[in-house]
Amino acid sequence: MSLLSVLSNGEVPMAVKVHDLSITYRTTFERKPTLKQALVRFGRGQRAVREIEAIKNVSFDVRNGTSMGIIGSNGAGKSTLMRAMAGILPPTTGSIEVWGRASTLLALGVGFNHNLSGRENIILGGLAAGLSRREVEERAAEVAEWTELGDFIDMPMRTYSSGMNARVGFSVAVHMKPDILMIDEALSTGDAHFREKATAKMAELRESARAMFLVSHGLGSIKEMCNEAMWLDRGKLMMRGDPAEVVKAYMKFVKVKKSESATEDM
């Protein structure tokens, strides 16, 4: 599937369509009791429920050939949106359609079994991505090699640094021939050498995948890697468009917010 493929009616095919999506997390937690409450309840835990609206009425569609950057403050809903598009998290309301197989490299290392080695996790990752046993066996050695972890590849992953973890995650994600490539902050923990290698790999995949989503706080990489960008703020889609313009608007917003809170402090 090439990026340039067009339907006979001249339209570029759709890769992802998100319609009026809202996602609410419901978390039950033990409310921290006061001493008196603790005595009255004889230590029985009282459960409280907190709902967090992480995504609020977001709609967009992405056609083949798009590399979409997603930016926004911590807690804006970026990872939640990615998890939903990857099919890990069901929508609370609204709908998501994805054409093809999504590869994900979400919160790094999530899904890995840290008692197994990097190589074993690569095999599991391939099977989880829907490849056949034979395809995985064919590709595992190459994927392991690509991490450049040397002997560490056969050590349990709990002995890895976070950058080493990221290398395995990234390597699995990009080698599984995804239709839709999704990368959440993958490059942030890699060292300079790996960052460069990963950037080149992503550029290469951009040519073969239908679409790519890149979540990053590195606004420079967003401008460099993406041909479109979205900015999320507290679950809402604030802006979508040219990466340079979206980054500019977001930075202006961050500055305004900063000066507002500074005046509040006075």
Ligand X SMILES: Nc1ncnc2c1ncn2[C@@H]1O[C@H](COP(=O)(O)OP(=O)(O)OP(=O)(O)O)[C@@H](O)[C@H]1O
Q: Report residue 230 as tokens.
A: 């979205």
Give yes or no for residue 22 binding ligand X (CB under 6 A).
Answer: no
Q: Which residue has the tokens 């937690």?
A: 29
One of 2, 25, 113, 256 touching ligand X (CB under 6 A): 25
Residue 22's binding partner among ligand X, Mg ion, none (Cβ under 5 to 8 angstroms by kind) is: none
- Cα torsion angle, 256, 258, 259, 265, sign: positive
Residue 263's binding partner among Mg ion, ligand X, none (Cβ under 5 to 8 angstroms by kind) is: none
**Pick 69 or 77: Cβ nearer ligand X:** 77
- For the bound state, the minimum distance from the C-beta of residue 235 to ligand X, rounded and expressed in Å, comes to 7
Candidates 11-19, 74-82, 92-100, 164-172: pick the segment binding Mg ion (CB under 5 A).
74-82
Whole-number Å distance between alpha carbons of 116 and 136: 17
Nearest to 25 by CA among 72, 73, 84, 74: 84
**Pick 57 or 79: Cβ nearer Mg ion:** 79
Element (H, E) at 58: strand 47-63
- The four Cα atoms 79, 85, 86, 88 give a dihedral, to 10 degrees, of 70
Q: Indicate the residue type of 155.
A: M
Question: Which residues does 110 contact at the CB level (< 8 Å), separation at least 6?
Answer: none
Helix (H, G, I), strand (E, B) or coil at 6: coil
Give yes or no for residue 34 binding ligand X (CB under 6 A).
Answer: no
Give yes or no for residue 79 binding Mg ion (CB under 5 A).
Answer: yes
Residue 52's binding partner among ligand X, Mg ion, none (Cβ under 5 to 8 angstroms by kind) is: ligand X
Helix (H, G, I), strand (E, B) or coil at 217: coil
Helix (H, G, I), strand (E, B) or coil at 214: strand
Annotate 33-60 with b (16+ C-beta within 10 A) or e (fewer): eeeeeeeeeeeeeeeeeeeeebbbebee
* Binding to ligand X, residues 72-131 (CB under 6 A): 72, 74-80
- For the bound state, the minimum distance from the C-beta of residue 57 to ligand X, rounded and expressed in Å, comes to 15
**Pick 11 or 51: Cβ nearer ligand X:** 51
Map residues 37-56 to x or -, x wherever contact with ligand X holds by CB under 6 A: ---------------x-x--
**Pick 13 or 75: Cβ nearer ligand X:** 75
Relative to beta strand 14-30, strand 93-98 is antiparallel
Taking CB atoms, the residue at the shortest distance from Mg ion is 79
- For the bound state, the minimum distance from the C-beta of residue 52 to ligand X, rounded and expressed in Å, comes to 5
Helix (H, G, I), strand (E, B) or coil at 128: helix
Whole-number Å distance between alpha carbons of 55 and 22: 5
- For the bound state, the minimum distance from the C-beta of residue 67 to Mg ion, rounded and expressed in Å, comes to 18
- For the bound state, the minimum distance from the C-beta of residue 242 to Mg ion, rounded and expressed in Å, comes to 23
**Pick 133 or 217: Cβ nearer Mg ion:** 217
Residues contributing to the site for ligand X (CB under 6 A): 25, 27, 52, 54, 72, 74-80
Residues contributing to the site for Mg ion (CB under 5 A): 79
